[in-house]
Amino acid sequence: MAVRWGAVDASTDEHSDIRLLEALAGGARGAAEALVDRTYSKVFALLCRLSGGDRDLAADLTQDTYRRAWASLGAFRGEASLSTWLYRIAYNTYLNHVRRPHRVVPLEAEDVERIGDGRRGADEEIADRQLERRLRRAVLDLPEELRATVVARYWAETPVTEIARLDGISEVAVRKRLRRATALLAAAVGGEHR
């Protein structure tokens, strides 16, 4: 049965992933568009969170994520859903970005505050943004296995069962990692907040 990928297939079950992969392998442009339509907002949101709200950087990293995904489609083994596989590529793309030296220096100050629409006080907006930055920094400072688990669960919204399957551990072990990470984050953010 031939699958037409002209319209977006919003389902994300295993069978649609397999059909989508077959269409991608056959070079169907519509399949590539369907995959991007189905996953772009979550990949972009994850990278936006990782990059501290820098939407331009997140957009660049999102494009890089899809470029890397297309290049490695043959390596996809179906051990996870396509969206989880893309999340992993996005996370690794971000880590590669952070690790490589940067030649470009931004002209604007990094910590320029943008004041909201006036419904909340400026000091509340600033305090919230500072707390978000401290929490983001604390997440990025976690040991790798805890950081990856926290990012997967809370920023990429990956179910615990899928994290366990990908990492080859039990769901109980994933929940223990999350509790340990939460305690470390509370200590880091709470200690800075005092």
Query: Is the distance from CB of 177 to CB of 167 less than 8 angstroms?
Result: no
pLDDT of 170 reads 93
Q: What local confidence, expressed as pLDDT, does residue 120 receive? A: 62
Average pLDDT per consecutive 10 residues, the chain (194 residues; last block may be shorter): 37 64 76 84 90 89 90 77 85 85 51 50 76 85 89 84 88 93 87 51
What is the widest separation between alpha-carbon atoms in the chain? Answer: 63
pTM of the entire structure? 0.54
Nearest-CA neighbor of 193 among 112, 132, 115, 111? 132
Q: Which residues contact 192 (CB under 8 A, 6 or more apart)?
A: 134
In this structure, what token pair is assigned to residue 128? 């919230």
DSSP states along 20-32: HHHHHHTT-HHHH
Say how many C-beta atoms besides its own lie within 10 A of residue 183's C-beta. Answer: 10
Give the C-alpha separation, 61 to 115, whole Å: 26
User: How big is the CA angle at 144 (ends 182 and 75), to the nearest 5 degrees?
Assistant: 125
Helices (H) and strands (E) in the chain, counts: 8, 0
Interatomic CA distance for residues 154 and 135, integer angstroms: 13
**C-alpha span between 163 and 45 (Å, rounded):** 19
Identify the pLDDT of residue 180.
Answer: 94
Q: 100: phi > 0 → left, psi -120 to 50 → alpha, else beta; which?
A: beta
